[in-house]
Amino acid sequence: MRYLVLFLLGVCTSYHWSQTNTHYSADSFPTPPPVHLNNYPENEVTSDHILMDPIELAPAFPGGQKAMYSFLSDHLVIPAYIIENGLQGKLYVQFTIDSTGDIKDVSVLKSFHQVMDAEIIRVIEMMPCWKPGQIGLEKVDMKFTLPITVSLN
């Protein structure tokens, strides 16, 4: 009984502390001193010396992701074996989109049935040219992994 009273006292106290109205304003925190780059000559910024990270853009299906899934649903024919046996699952297909936007090196990373793998590879290879990926201003080959869920609903 004594432990129950101590426990309830601890819960009530912690609840009260969590409910107190402590307000902090921006004025209550000290302002850090300003940093002047001119104090450090090796970091001096000039118009002819600007450091930038290259911008990376992922490959894109023409029309966007919604258009890609629409293309897949229009062209994908679920094999009769899958339908007859009521098989459902998720598979991951990976392919490379080269610097011209063409698809190559299609492979299934995670499969749920070989029959479905062959069909998804066929449809991926039918896809139109993608907008290629870029690093900076240069178009480059990039791998793309696509999860596909096969559901009979």
Which own/partner pairs from 41-48 qualify as long-range (CB within 8 Å, at least 24 positions apart)? none
Count of domains forming the chain = 1
Res 50: pLDDT = 52
What residues make up the domain containing 73?
56-150
Q: Three-class SS string for 75-126?
A: HCCCCHHHHHCCCCEEEEEEEEECCCCCEEEEEEEECCCHHHHHHHHHHHHH
Given pLDDT bands bounded at 50, 70 and 90, which one contains residue 54?
Answer: low
User: Whole-model pTM above 0.75?
Assistant: no
| Mean of the per-residue pLDDT values of the chain | 76
98 pLDDT more than 60: yes
Q: Supply the CATH number for residue 76's domain.
A: 3.30.2420.10
